[in-house]
Amino acid sequence: AQSVTQLDSQVPVFEEAPVELRCNYSSSVSVYLFWYVQYPNQGLQLLLKYLSGSTLVKGINGFEAEFNKSQTSFHLRKPSVHISDTAEYFCAVRTSGYSTLTFGKGTMLLVSP
Amino acid sequence: EAQVTQNPRYLITVTGKKLTVTCSQNMNHEYMSWYRQDPGLGLRQIYYSMNVEVTDKGDVPEGYKVSRKEKRNFPLILESPSPNQTSLYFCASSLRRGTGETQYFGPGTRLLVL
């Protein structure tokens, strides 16, 4: 079975500060990892995904994530956040041959001036 | 514009009154699914469909039905809604079932069952 743990339910930061949102997964087989963002009153949209190859993945809006197989992690980072980055962020995992995308419980990023 | 649409966006109903939430995509996607989002629980999959007339249960299917008679539409049916089905519902689609496929989400339907 696959599972995802997002270690922080809320992360408050000041504008222009760096941020890291943590995600750990559990799976005994190869994984495909995703980060989605949900802005207030909207559906989810894909930020970035890791399928294979380079472990550093760049996404939209200046976000990037690093796949670490030994730590079973896929943390999301941004070097300088904006007020407009305030949203809920979901990490998700899918394993080879399994159709369900399993989501973490989400991390609310709160950016203040 | 490529999109997933859901209707209605907001719905208040009473226990036991059958309702249907529609979902439609215009991207010719094969794979469609329904999720519910609850505070502190993230998104959980209710049902999914790999193509027309092919549907299967997700993680929390109890109390829900779906059908896939046309490729573009994937309605969610609550035959006898109960208060524990009060939630935010999302429909999603992707080109196919593949593990690396990006899912595109609708705007959500907020349901309150009294």
pLDDT in tens, B33-87: 999 999 888 899 999 999 999 999 999 999 999 999 999 999 999 999 999 999 9
B58 contacts A32? CB cut-off 8 A = no
A104 contacts B105? CB cut-off 8 A = no
In the beta sheet, which residues pair with residue B32?
B49, B93
Average pLDDT, chain A: 91
Could you report the per-residue pLDDT of A42-76, keeping only the tens digit for each?
889 999 999 888 899 999 999 999 999 999 999 99
Rounded mean pLDDT of B5-20? 96
Per-residue pLDDT, A30:
80
Please count the CA atoms within 13 angstroms of the CA of A85 that sit on its side-chain side: 29
Helix, strand, coil proportions of chain B in percent (round to 5)? Answer: 5, 50, 45
Sorting pLDDT into bands at 50, 70 and 90, what band is A31?
confident
pLDDT at B11 over 90: yes
Per-residue pLDDT, A98:
59
Sorting pLDDT into bands at 50, 70 and 90, what band is A96?
low
A43 contacts B107? CB cut-off 8 A = yes
**Residue A107: which H helix or E strand, with range?**
strand A107-112
pLDDT at A97 over 70: no
A94 contacts B99? CB cut-off 8 A = yes
Show residues of chain A in contact with B90, CB under 8 Å.
Answer: 43-44
Closest in B41, B45, B105 to A105, CB measured: B41
pLDDT at A1 over 80: no
A97: left (phi over 0), alpha (psi -120 to 50) or beta: left
Show residues of chain B in contact with A9, CB under 8 Å.
Answer: 40
Could you report the per-residue pLDDT of B86-105, keeping only the tens digit for each?
999 999 999 877 767 888 99
Whole-Å CA distances, A86 to A14, A78, A81, A82, B65: 11, 12, 9, 8, 35
A51: left (phi over 0), alpha (psi -120 to 50) or beta: alpha
Sorting pLDDT into bands at 50, 70 and 90, what band is A5?
very high
Interface test with B, best of A5, A8, A44 (most B CBs within 10 A): A44
- Taking the C-alpha atoms of residue B29 and residue B47, their distance in angstroms, rounded to an integer, is 16
Helix, strand, coil proportions of chain A in percent (round to 5)? Answer: 5, 55, 40
pLDDT at A39 over 80: yes
DSSP string across A22-51: --EEE-SS-EEEEEEEE-TTS-EEEEEEE-
B59 contacts A100? CB cut-off 8 A = yes
